[in-house]
Structure 1
Amino acid sequence: MRKKSKSIPLNTMAQRFGAGIAVGKATIKDLHTFEEAEQSHRDDYHLFFLQEKGSTPIEIDFQKYKIKPSSVIYIHPNQIHRVGEFQNITLSFLAINNESLAPEYHKLLGDIAPVKPLLLKKETFALISEAVSLCIKLSERKHEKLYHSLLKDSCNTLVALIASQYLSQSRAVESLSRFEIIAKSFKASLEQNFVTIKKPAAYASMLNISIPYLNECVRNTTGQSVSHHIQQRVVLEAKRLLYHSTKTVKEIADELGYDDYPYFSRLFAKVTKMSPLTFRSKNLD
């Protein structure tokens, strides 16, 4: 049975690992030995899994995936996730908080999220596995004078290796059209401001362009309007809170920046074709 709390459960780096970086390899017999991952939660750190043996079912923001051998996945701190039932898996992992992450990679990871599990070529998987092994070995050499620098730099190199695999699946920035660059900037701004800024005009102003031009860029690139993207982002957060917490609809509306919660309920129903309470009851275990 899915446990629910007043707020979405948050695993912190300090509670889980007691340090800003944790890297390791584990062979896990079944879900019971990894029980805390069964409950839906957020982390306050960036998380990377490299699947070596077996397969791991995982649910991320209402999307279900299966991480297969020779695959990697990145989970952003904003994303809610939980692991499904598995048996006899071997995986490597890296957990790293914002303070330990190189600033240029922090923005990069925000730009590529959300992502799906990525199946790697044999040689690429071998290279990343070697990088993980090096990071693990360095994490054990606490007597080194430059221990923290060695661990931080090696793990940031690992982050870059993984991120580069995701970037190779997308087009280079220099090849993007003006429309695509503006749409990308809008989405990044939306992710940072969707709770406080709901009007397309405000986003157009932030990007120093007109509202019609912003809409033209976003619609041309994504097929949907600026308002559609704003509503979808708000509703995703509402779904997270309805499913994973016990907050009332009014409390959720307040948290998402709506003083008029009946208006928020109508917006949710318009986007999902059901009321917030219907969504919650329909998704109860």
Structure 2
Amino acid sequence: MTDNLDAGIAIEKIAFQHLPPQDNVNTVEGDRQSHRHNSHTFHLLETGTVHIDIDFQQYTINSSSVIYIHPDQVHRTTSFDKVTVVSLAITDENLNPEYLKLLEDLVPTKPVELAPETFALITETTSLCLKLSERRSNRLYHSLLKDACNTLVALILSTYLDQTKSPEKFSRFELVTKAFRGLLEHNYTTIKRPAEYARKLNLSTAYLNECVKGTTGHSVSFHIQQRIILEASRLLYHSDQSVKEIAAELGYDDYPYFSRLFTKATGMTALAFRAKNRD
């Protein structure tokens, strides 16, 4: 679906009885391999059960549930049974800017089981989006589809936001940690030192560490390393780049140092990690 986005938006309803074995001659190769898209994807599971790996975490999605997957996240479906799902893919430029910012702050997300009235409302909205997606002759086709799909995104976002703490209730430590995580997400390939993040936030390194450790239980250095290791793992899992190329992409000219860092963090070499996760 996401390979055929029409002007940045694609929505479809599909039904499957079961996931074919990986060696089945009728199975499309990409269906069973880890992958990621250049769009935000939302899956509303109407019936059945799906088992999915997202960034090396396993999740089970049951009927009347929804899940959001960020473009950066590597994922693959491992099994499903008697599934009916509505899937929406939408690119950054087609998302309401407010929703895009909120989605960036949500990652990573887990499946959310919907209350019956919420499930009914979202199902009605997906039905409208699906109907509009078929009206290609309408002169306002893209605008209508974009507005309807953004309404669907807003409803899904609301279900996630209902599970998170209101910004007004954040402590000072939590606000600082949130700001640090936002900076880290956009700078982890170029900024590796805690002192640089502290400087950008106009804080002392000691106070930034106090806030982050008090909120998460881990130091600033730990979070920087974990973000780098996550992206390295994604690239090892998803791409065919060499370990040396991945190190360079993540800002490490010293390839042996990066290799030692990865091994220390994961307990295995980068090549062993790639082989293990591609089995």
Post-superposition shift, 1:128? 0.5
Identity of aligned residues (%): 59
Secondary structure of the 1:186 match is helix
Q: What is the CA-CA distance between 1:59 and the residue it aligns to?
A: 0.7
Which position in structure 2 is the counterpart of 1:125?
Answer: 119
After TM superposition, give the deviation of residue 230 of structure 1 in Å: 0.3
| 1:165-204 alignment runs, 5 A limit | 165-204=159-198
| C-alpha deviation, 1:269, in angstroms | 2.1
Q: Which amino acid aligns with 1:27?
A: A
* CA shift for structure 1 position 284: 4.2
Paired position in structure 2 for 1:224: 218
TM-score by length of 1: 0.90
Aligned to 1:278: 272
**Secondary structure of the residue that 1:90 maps to in structure 2?**
strand
Matched, 1:59 2:47: no
> In structure 2, what is the equivalent of residue 110 of structure 1?
104
Could you tell me which runs of 5 or more consecutive residues in structure 1 were left unpaired when the two chains were aligned: 1-10
CA distance in 1, matches of 2:251, 2:93: 28
Q: Does 1:75 align with 2:69?
A: yes
Query: Which residue is equivalent to 2:255?
Result: 261
Between 134-143 and 77-86, the greater mean CA deviation after superposition: 134-143
1:249 matched residue in structure 2 = 243
Give the AA of the match of 1:244.
H
Structure 1 residues 204-215: aligned runs within 5 Å: 204-215=198-209
1:18 aligns with 2:12: no
Q: 1:152 to 1:246 in 2, by over 3 A?
A: closer
Per mean C-alpha deviation after superposition, the further-off stretch among 124-133 and 204-213 is 204-213
Distance in 2 (CA, whole Å) between partners of 1:245 and 1:182 is: 34
Quote the offset at 1:150 in angstroms.
1.5
**CA-CA distance at 1:34 after TM superposition:** 7.3
CA drift of 1:240 comes to 1.8
One-letter amino acid of the structure 1 residue matched with residue 260 of structure 2: R
Question: Number of residues paired by the alignment?
Answer: 273
Change beyond 3 A, Cα 1:149–1:271:
same
Distance 2:149 2:242 in 1: 41
CA distance in 2, matches of 1:284, 1:146: 45
1:257 partner letter: G
Q: Match of 1:79, SS?
A: coil
Residue number in structure 1 paired with 2:91: 97
What CA deviation, in whole Å up to 9, does each residue of 1:182-204 have, x standing for no partner? 10111111111111111111111
* Aligned counterpart in structure 1 of residue 78 of structure 2, from 74, 84, 87: 84
User: Post-superposition shift, 1:244?
Assistant: 2.9
Q: Letter of the aligned partner of 1:259 in structure 2?
A: D
For residues 157 and 130 of structure 2, the distance between their equivalents in structure 1, rounded to whole angstroms, comes to 19
Is the CA contact (8 Å cut-off) linking 1:28 and 1:34 kept in structure 2? no
Q: What is the CA distance between 1:147 and its match in structure 2?
A: 2.3
Q: Does the residue aligned with 1:111 lie in a helix, a strand or coil?
A: helix
CA contact under 8 A between 1:39 and 1:82: conserved in structure 2?
yes
SS in 2 for 1:85: strand
- CA shift for structure 1 position 274: 2.6
Shift of residue 42, structure 1, vs aligned partner: 0.8
Shift of 1:261: 1.1
RMSD of aligned residue pairs (Cα, Å) = 1.7
Counterparts of 1:164 and 1:19, CA distance in 2? 25
Cα distance between partner residues in 2 of 1:131 and 1:34 = 31
Shift of 1:268: 1.4
3-state SS, counterpart of residue 86 of structure 1: strand
Give the TM-score, by structure 2 length.
0.92
**Cα displacement (A) at 1:243:** 2.7
Give 2:132's aligned residue: 138
Letter in 2 for 1:266: R
Preserved contact between residue 55 and residue 67 of structure 1 (Cα < 8 Å) = yes
Match of 1:160 in 2: 154
Quote the Cα distance in structure 2 between the aligned partners of 1:256 and 1:71. Answer: 35
Moved more, 15-24 or 100-109: 15-24
Measure how far apart 1:17 and its partner are.
2.7
Are 2:136 and 1:148 aligned?
no
Distance 1:138 1:271 in 2: 48
